Amino acid sequence: LLDLNNTNKRISIRNLSINTEFSDFGGFIINENETFFASASPKSLKKEKLYKWNNQPFLNIYKANSSRKSLEENVKDTVLVLESKRLISRGINTEYHESNPVFTKDLKTMYFTRVNYDGRKLKSDKENTINLKIYKADYADDRWSNVVELPFNSDEYSVGHPALGPDDKVLYFVSDMPGGIGKTDIYKVDIT
């Protein structure tokens, strides 16, 4: 692959040892020390609810310690190593899907995708589809709290997969809301 300075750069893709037989995706590396990701791996040894589409447990957001290790001595090649996988603090993960966390640079705000679940029941649209919504949470006193859904969410269409612009002032997301060009489009909104 070629980088922006037109110098050759070799990139190798490897399966992480922390991956499971379940769905694991959406890594977000913070300060080279922690990586957040979504996984359908079971939360406990107890039997859990299974998602009917893939017969796996529902997705939750996990974090793991991350580091880079050299492949061989005196070689510049390194691999990302993830260890000590654990669920993030209560208040974010529910008994249904959560995934795709992104964080502001100061690590005090997280945006993530969750199914339309109000804490008591799943909500669906007129066609009985359970849509996605984006939520925001604040980090203080070593825990995530103040979880709120964003104002442009709707029970009638999905909003998900948040991404932040480089200055944390723009939030990008995908949605199948009315008025788009395709079935699902990319949108952006200014963060105020």
**Tens digits of residue pLDDT in 71-92:** 665 566 677 777 788 888 777 8
Instruction: Name residue, tokens 């939750």.
Output: 60
pLDDT at position 91: 78
Tell which wins on pLDDT, 94 or 115: 115
DSSP H helical segments within 13-93, as ranges?
none
Give the pLDDT score at 93.
Answer: 85
pLDDT of residue 13: 64
Task: Render pLDDT for 9-31 as a digit per residue (tens, 0 to 9).
Answer: 666 666 676 777 777 788 777 77
Furthest C-alpha separation in the chain? 61
Amino acid letter at 102? V
Give 108-130 pLDDT, tens digit per residue: 999 999 999 888 888 988 988 88
Structure tokens at 16: 């992480």
Burial class from Cβ neighbours inside 10 Å (0-12, 13-18, 19+) for residue 13 reads: exposed
The confidence score (pLDDT) of residue 2 equals: 43
pLDDT tens-digit map of 133-175: 999 999 888 888 899 999 999 999 999 999 999 999 999 999 9
What is the tally of helices (H) and strands (E) in the chain? 0, 13
The contacts of residue 61 (CB under 8 Å, 6+ apart) are 36, 37, 38, 87, 88, 92, 93, 98, 99, 101, 112
Q: Report how far residue 117's alpha carbon sits from residue 102's, in angstroms, rounded to the nearest whole number.
A: 20
Q: Are 53 and 33 in contact (CB under 8 A)?
A: no
Q: Is 183 in contact with 190 (CB distance < 8 Å)?
A: no
Spatial separation of the C-alpha atoms in residues 114 and 109, rounded to whole Å = 16
* pLDDT for the residue 186: 96
Per-residue pLDDT, 5: 60
* Averaged pLDDT for residues 43-60: 77
Tell me, what DSSP letter sits at residue 8? B
- d(CA 77, CA 83) in angstroms, rounded, equals 20
